[in-house]
Structure 1
């Protein structure tokens, strides 16, 4: 039985708790949250102890799940790692790049499992593309959300766009050559809406737009590559592939179109979407990495690269606003 201690029982922490409490081979040791209101909100629903200090909970656990504010991530991670405990930490993994560099060093020197909570990696719409050869040369992303005061302690880059930064980096598999960005703080003290262009050394270009002041929600990614267009709707869990027909595409819906080079046959594929709970899946994979001694799904280097790109974007926006 794997004993996991939970840090933070706010909105997202409660979701983690509901999943961990029903997970095979997992025992929730207890939780730590300085907020009496958060603690009161789960009392009576879960019969798990509230620990008075973070150190006590870490000491009593085999692994910890950090769903606390980003500013607390590094200290909790460092304490747990130095005590030989496994760590799952929500994105972004640290508040600053200095903390991120130190954390990478700590993790790589320790004999522990460390996973970063980039949950969109486990979205059913994205998982439906597993096994498909993704080699995009242009990517367009829109992630729009309605305004919610929760989460505005960080910019929209670290709050929302980092999901797409991580996905794009995992797909493109090339280093960044140039970043252009603009953003505006409308309702909070940090950018609430931003548009970013990321250019990669392999020639791929990604345009990302994120907003937390929109009237409607949208989480869409469009990939354009040789002979194919792939659309991913992370919100409605839908995936579509439109490509030039090949002999392997028999059985798919096809459409003939006229081009300057003659008639082309287009095949439209809607991969099967296997419904699943993304948060439960990432936590189960974290559990399995420990119990079966397997690599984690999203490692510390993945978390570092996404955070580094996010901070480069923030620097570009900051310079633009000061000019």
Structure 2
């Protein structure tokens, strides 16, 4: 498979599925071999446009398919994975891994037993600003705390999950990715119509670091921020504009006979332009060929994020 085209099918042609369709159809080394959607007319339009077969049941996945990408509603993820695993060993599933923690635990066990290579769609890991931020923090003298803020208006297409599994889960994954496993969680939030629309959580990690995570879909204000407090610097990372500013420890100088002068040293870090979805799918293709890397979010990362989501949801809903 190292040199041959990777034969990939796409399941789900909603908004995110259309984005995957665009990237997969132009990805080097990939052949799109089928599309599928619960709306057969949508699948047929994509089929006609790209000259790719449309299937209406996963039992019809063509022989020789190497991998599938699942972009269906969250509540269907577990069942889609089980059905797809009857035909392929490589599966990309959009986040979250499953609709509930119980489902995520069952599907994780299923994938371990079947030795399924799963990548969960934590796209922020592939945001070039996040990748540059991780490189900066890996060189930091000591990380004390990282703050994550993510807000967005409620999407009409997201009706099956709350703000924790819709938005906050991205930063939960990043918190675990950057700060390691958590040992304690405190959370509160705002519930509307039995759905959590605002949540704030403090994670204390096993290494002593802290992650403060806030997510909201109450207002139209859209924010994607990461702020890292380190012993030797403070790092502002704006994910939408892909901007990073480092403020290093202030310098205190004195000229004889003059007052003290305190000055901060700021440095703007250049972030390379790169589409995160393209990088994410390239990583999936690579994992299908040679196996996942440590930075590729697999089934264990998907399960770990769901475990934290579940604890936050229970704390908020008390």
Question: Does TM, scored on the shorter chain, surpass 0.5?
Answer: yes
Contact 2:186 2:203 in 1 (8 A): yes
Aligned to 2:289: 291
Between the aligned partners of 1:294 and 1:256, the Cα distance in structure 2 is: 44
- CA separation of 1:219/1:257 partners in 2, compared to 1, >3 Å: closer, same or farther? farther
CA RMSD, aligned part only? Answer: 2.3
- CA separation of 1:242/1:37 partners in 2, compared to 1, >3 Å: closer, same or farther? farther
* 3-state SS of 1:140 partner: strand
Aligned to 2:237: 232
- CA separation of 1:130/1:208 partners in 2, compared to 1, >3 Å: closer, same or farther? closer
* 3-state SS of 1:64 partner: strand
Aligned to 1:275: 273
Moved over 4 A (4+): 262-265
1:257-268 correspondence runs (5 A) = 257=252, 266-268=264-266
Match of 2:67 among 42, 63, 74: 63
Match of 2:37 among 33, 36, 40: 33
Between the aligned partners of 1:43 and 1:178, the Cα distance in structure 2 is: 46
Deviates more, 1:69-78 or 1:204-213: 204-213
How big is the shift at 1:276? 0.5
Aligned to 2:11: 7
1:159-238 correspondence runs (5 A) = 159-185=166-192, 189-238=194-243
Contact 2:9 2:32 in 1 (8 A): yes
Contact 2:6 2:67 in 1 (8 A): yes
How big is the shift at 1:293? 3.6
Between the aligned partners of 1:164 and 1:37, the Cα distance in structure 2 is: 35
Between the aligned partners of 1:137 and 1:66, the Cα distance in structure 2 is: 37
How big is the shift at 1:313? 0.7
Deviates more, 1:139-148 or 1:14-23: 139-148
- CA separation of 1:218/1:37 partners in 2, compared to 1, >3 Å: closer, same or farther? farther
Between the aligned partners of 2:253 and 2:45, the Cα distance in structure 1 is: 61
How big is the shift at 1:282? 0.7
Contact 1:7 1:66 in 2 (8 A): yes
Contact 1:88 1:115 in 2 (8 A): yes
Match of 2:93 among 89, 107, 122: 89
Match of 2:161 among 151, 154, 159: 154
Deviates more, 1:33-42 or 1:100-109: 33-42
Equivalent pairs counted in the alignment come to 305
Between the aligned partners of 1:305 and 1:292, the Cα distance in structure 2 is: 24
Aligned to 2:120: 116
TM-score in terms of structure 2 length: 0.88
Contact 1:58 1:80 in 2 (8 A): no
Contact 2:58 2:84 in 1 (8 A): no
